[in-house]
A and B are shown apart, each in its own frame.
Chain A
């Protein structure tokens, strides 16, 4: 605590000195002259933090395993960040030089974060589509004699096995293969669910916006009721009911899960579609079309939908993340995607016990975090792309 105060005091003094020195050295250049003290403090603080990160990274490479272990995750984070940044930069560079005039222009105006997002999404799609060919083992294949070797990295000195680069779980299934199949199951199901939610919520939302009156009231109040119930609890409740039905009807529980999550999420889509639709409905061109005598279908599909695509597309990206996290959460709680299908949420739950090794054997605790990391990475990537699309559709410059 005392240390922290001393550090902050040092930074505070350094910030003042930097600003003063800057003013003297540059002869009152506007940059230093108009710099407020808070900004100077921010600069020095940023430098101090970067220095600390660099120091931590050097520590992580130390020969003493005790010291190295302490900074293991920091090292992983820094390396991951640098690798992804370089990959995104190369991807953007490639996009700028290869392809049609249109795609080149798109890549030029794309920020690096969006390039990262697009790259990660492409990788996920490729992995999900070609999972059967990429994965070295089957998702439910139990490899005899390899049970519970969770050490990732394949370093035999630390107890790993090069045949299973990310280790194996408690009953001897290859974790890398399960991660790859997980992309197919989790991402695929999330995509179908989101599409359903949009079909339902979008259609009803536009109808409510165009018709107004009692239909709007009825649908909106219904949606209010559904939204008033906490979504995860509601989903759990419905899944419990569905698990009884699925046994008696012989329909897989996953189908019910897709329908339930789609219903719950369609309420959010409904609200957005209705709000966007209402803004478009008051435009003069809709009035002109109405006065021309156009029918409802033309109004919704030719006049409203083209103008609503940008916000709906952005919402699609965000909604996809929420659906995806909801599926992972339900799977973690044991009512989502059922074994033996590989699923990231289930994988985190199954291997969660190893997280407590993080302090003294970080390599062993990596395994449950891999699935969680896969979820986080996709969520971040999708959000970057959505941010970029929102920015583009809002028409803001700079």
Chain B
């Protein structure tokens, strides 16, 4: 028997949409040796997950194999009987899904779900498996390993749940684990813990893995080899180090180049200038739960202030206070030096016009039943009263600014646009009000890297042309590097540190800023190893936050 574990040869997969079969994967080969970790990267729609599932001999509903073969340890998975596959899946092949919260059954305790695989496959008894589960929890450095399994999934945090899921996949000591974007939904400080845990346990049990992600820096830490996919075609495959230092294909190079986008620094703000928006010692609460404590910062004309922090740190709540959706319980919001009414209901039309928002999820930010033209036309009409030809002309010029041809897109519905195009329409709608100040709430986090870069460049250009101020809410520090002039770091509803970008990215830092910065994966394949050596395994991620 060779040491080849998975052998996919010339695999073609098709998916059904609009009553026809469209190709998803076009003749991809894949080899995986025992104990090897393969990174699969590509944009959304590249077919990464479909290929990952095909390696288990599984097709989602509406997907079928057109031709090709999938072999696992000499077994032809595509022609294997249901009984043979049942015996393999869970026992020798395991799967870790993107959202552990959605993959655990909320009605059962974690350990009960953990023991199901080993007992069903007859690998262990229930008692053995429970003891083994606790051992795995300990190895994955979950807090209270002897006790955590007896909780229900909603009683543990997202990062812990993701590790519990990895433990569950490990329960039968499989030969192969498919990780489908296991850290995409997590904060950076949590992500690093999960990454360290996964890497350690995969190495310890010499498990082969297919690691699916769109984040290059993450895959650089995890994989021995990387395969790049583009629209169902393989672009190239190489060792991680070769791939990072010397990619041969143009597409791969362009993926690498995204991270290098950085706009030139601007001259510092004149001290006497009146800020466009000024947040003055704002406190806010949802009901009786306090969320913000004494938040203050200024935003100046033509500048971008990036507000960074983990989920739950109060970034979006600050934005809601500025827009007036959540009136602050103390403090005030100044616009051009004048105090604005706390609730949007009491603000004048002109005050509302000056503050616009661009949302994270373009899907929910655009009314799916209204055409693109009307989405942009409505604020123009509402604020300036333009009608007829003048209105159409203004909409055309707005669409010109966001680089979408008006003739082609005017009559389309949002569902007929790609993610990046939708986000551009969201930008156009904000611009239509001719505001001075725009809040960008995680505008690029739902987009692929190349598309996100296009949006960032567009925003930067618009800022130069119209001297807009942006409040840029993000958790992605690469985005901050690319676009920010000033940075505000938030944690648990407080401003931890603020200042111009170049000062923020230079030591000395506040310890929390330092932790945030050091947790962002870098393209260097040794980054995680070095970081672990430097900080120690118990001083990363949430554990480090608790230690502070």
- Residues on A close to B: CB < 8 A? 28, 30, 33-34, 108-109, 283-285, 287-288, 290-294, 302-303, 306-307, 397-398
- The answer to whether A288 touches B357 (Cβ under 8 A) is yes
- The answer to whether B62 touches A290 (Cβ under 8 A) is no
B533 at the interface (CB under 8 A from A): no
Which one of B82, B352, B357 lies within 8 Å of A293 (CB-CB)?
A: B352
Chain B residues positioned under 8 Å from A108 (CB to CB): 19
Chain A residues positioned under 8 Å from B378 (CB to CB): 292
Query: Closest CB-CB distance, B23 to chain A, in whole Å?
Result: 17
- The answer to whether A284 touches B16 (Cβ under 8 A) is no
Which one of A34, A292, A306, A398 lies within 8 Å of B367 (CB-CB)?
A: A306
B17 at the interface (CB under 8 A from A): yes
Chain B residues positioned under 8 Å from A285 (CB to CB): 364-367
Chain B residues positioned under 8 Å from A287 (CB to CB): 325, 357
In the bound complex, how far is the Cα of B349 from the Cα of A283, in angstroms?
A: 22
Chain A residues positioned under 8 Å from B286 (CB to CB): none
- The answer to whether B359 touches A292 (Cβ under 8 A) is no
In the bound complex, how far is the Cα of B366 from the Cα of A284, in angstroms?
A: 7
- The answer to whether A397 touches B344 (Cβ under 8 A) is no
Chain A residues positioned under 8 Å from B355 (CB to CB): 291
- The answer to whether B379 touches A292 (Cβ under 8 A) is yes
Chain A residues positioned under 8 Å from B62 (CB to CB): 397-398
Query: Closest CB-CB distance, B315 to chain A, in whole Å?
Result: 16
Interface string of B75-115 (1 = CB under 8 A from A): 00001011100000000000000000000000000000000
Chain B residues positioned under 8 Å from A283 (CB to CB): 364-365, 367
- The answer to whether B364 touches A291 (Cβ under 8 A) is no
- The answer to whether A292 touches B382 (Cβ under 8 A) is yes
Query: Closest CB-CB distance, B157 to chain A, in whole Å?
Result: 25
In the bound complex, how far is the Cα of B379 from the Cα of A285, in angstroms?
A: 12
Interface string of B368-391 (1 = CB under 8 A from A): 111000000011001100000000
B429 at the interface (CB under 8 A from A): yes
In the bound complex, how far is the Cα of B475 from the Cα of A214, in angstroms?
A: 38
Chain A residues positioned under 8 Å from B359 (CB to CB): 284, 288
In the bound complex, how far is the Cα of B363 from the Cα of A307, in angstroms?
A: 13
In the bound complex, how far is the Cα of B525 from the Cα of A385, in angstroms?
A: 58
In the bound complex, how far is the Cα of B83 from the Cα of A30, in angstroms?
A: 11
Q: Would you mind naming 6 contact pairs between A and B with Cβ atoms under 8 Å apart? A: A33-B82, A284-B365, A290-B325, A292-B352, A397-B62, A398-B62
In the bound complex, how far is the Cα of B368 from the Cα of A396, in angstroms?
A: 17
Given contacts A285-B365, A307-B369, contact A291 B325 (CB under 8 A): yes
- The answer to whether A34 touches B82 (Cβ under 8 A) is yes
Query: Closest CB-CB distance, A39 to chain B, in whole Å?
Result: 11
Interface string of B333-352 (1 = CB under 8 A from A): 00000000000100101001
B361 at the interface (CB under 8 A from A): yes
Given contacts A288-B429, A290-B344, A294-B382, contact A397 B81 (CB under 8 A): no
Which one of A34, A294, A306, A398 lies within 8 Å of B81 (CB-CB)?
A: A34
Chain A residues positioned under 8 Å from B317 (CB to CB): none
Which one of A291, A302, A307, A398 lies within 8 Å of B352 (CB-CB)?
A: A291
Interface string of B181-216 (1 = CB under 8 A from A): 000000000000000000000000000000000000
Query: Closest CB-CB distance, A163 to chain B, in whole Å?
Result: 51
Query: Closest CB-CB distance, B38 to chain A, in whole Å?
Result: 29
The range of chain B's interface size is 20 to 34
B408 at the interface (CB under 8 A from A): no
B61 at the interface (CB under 8 A from A): yes
Chain A residues positioned under 8 Å from B46 (CB to CB): none
B323 at the interface (CB under 8 A from A): yes
Chain B residues positioned under 8 Å from A34 (CB to CB): 81-83
In the bound complex, how far is the Cα of B62 from the Cα of A285, in angstroms?
A: 31
Given contacts A33-B81, A290-B344, contact A284 B370 (CB under 8 A): no
When C-beta atoms are compared, the residue in chain B nearest to A293 turns out to be B352
Count chain B CB atoms within 10 A of each CB in A28, A285, A302, A303 and give the residue with the most: A285
Chain B residues positioned under 8 Å from A293 (CB to CB): 344, 347, 349, 352, 382
- The answer to whether A397 touches B369 (Cβ under 8 A) is no
In the bound complex, how far is the Cα of B82 from the Cα of A288, in angstroms?
A: 51
B433 at the interface (CB under 8 A from A): yes
When C-beta atoms are compared, the residue in chain B nearest to A280 turns out to be B367
Residues 43-72 (chain B) with a chain A CB within 8 angstroms? 61-62
Which one of B349, B361, B382 lies within 8 Å of A284 (CB-CB)?
A: B361
In addition to A293-B347, A293-B382, A303-B367, 12 A-B residue pairs with Cβ atoms within 8 Å of each other are A34-B83, A283-B365, A285-B364, A287-B325, A288-B365, A290-B325, A291-B352, A291-B356, A291-B357, A292-B379, A306-B367, A307-B367
- The answer to whether B344 touches A109 (Cβ under 8 A) is no
In the bound complex, how far is the Cα of B369 from the Cα of A108, in angstroms?
A: 24
Query: Closest CB-CB distance, A109 to chain B, in whole Å?
Result: 7
In the bound complex, how far is the Cα of B323 from the Cα of A290, in angstroms?
A: 11
In the bound complex, how far is the Cα of B80 from the Cα of A33, in angstroms?
A: 10
When C-beta atoms are compared, the residue in chain A nearest to B78 turns out to be A30
When C-beta atoms are compared, the residue in chain A nearest to B15 turns out to be A397
Chain A residues positioned under 8 Å from B383 (CB to CB): 292
When C-beta atoms are compared, the residue in chain B nearest to A294 turns out to be B382
Which one of B16, B364, B367, B370 lies within 8 Å of A397 (CB-CB)?
A: B16
When C-beta atoms are compared, the residue in chain A nearest to B383 turns out to be A292
Query: Closest CB-CB distance, A387 to chain B, in whole Å?
Result: 19
- The answer to whether A397 touches B17 (Cβ under 8 A) is yes
Chain A residues positioned under 8 Å from B352 (CB to CB): 291-293
Query: Closest CB-CB distance, B58 to chain A, in whole Å?
Result: 14
The 9 closest A-B pairs by CB, nearest first: A306-B369, A34-B82, A284-B365, A284-B359, A285-B367, A284-B364, A293-B352, A283-B364, A33-B81
In the bound complex, how far is the Cα of B365 from the Cα of A306, in angstroms?
A: 15
Chain B residues positioned under 8 Å from A284 (CB to CB): 359, 361, 364-365
Chain B residues positioned under 8 Å from A303 (CB to CB): 367
Chain B residues positioned under 8 Å from A109 (CB to CB): 19
Which one of B83, B356, B368 lies within 8 Å of A307 (CB-CB)?
A: B368
Query: Closest CB-CB distance, A33 to chain B, in whole Å?
Result: 5
Query: Closest CB-CB distance, B174 to chain A, in whole Å?
Result: 23
In the bound complex, how far is the Cα of B429 from the Cα of A307, in angstroms?
A: 20
Chain A residues positioned under 8 Å from B82 (CB to CB): 33-34
When C-beta atoms are compared, the residue in chain B nearest to A304 turns out to be B367
Interface string of B245-288 (1 = CB under 8 A from A): 00000000000000000000000000000000000000000000
Chain B residues positioned under 8 Å from A28 (CB to CB): 81
In the bound complex, how far is the Cα of B518 from the Cα of A135, in angstroms?
A: 85
Chain A residues positioned under 8 Å from B325 (CB to CB): 287, 290-291
Chain B residues positioned under 8 Å from A307 (CB to CB): 367-369
In the bound complex, how far is the Cα of B20 from the Cα of A109, in angstroms?
A: 12
In the bound complex, how far is the Cα of B19 from the Cα of A108, in angstroms?
A: 10
In the bound complex, how far is the Cα of B366 from the Cα of A307, in angstroms?
A: 12
In the bound complex, how far is the Cα of B325 from the Cα of A287, in angstroms?
A: 9
In the bound complex, how far is the Cα of B344 from the Cα of A284, in angstroms?
A: 15
Query: Closest CB-CB distance, B311 to chain A, in whole Å?
Result: 17
Chain A residues positioned under 8 Å from B433 (CB to CB): 292
Query: Closest CB-CB distance, A245 to chain B, in whole Å?
Result: 44
When C-beta atoms are compared, the residue in chain A nearest to B348 turns out to be A293
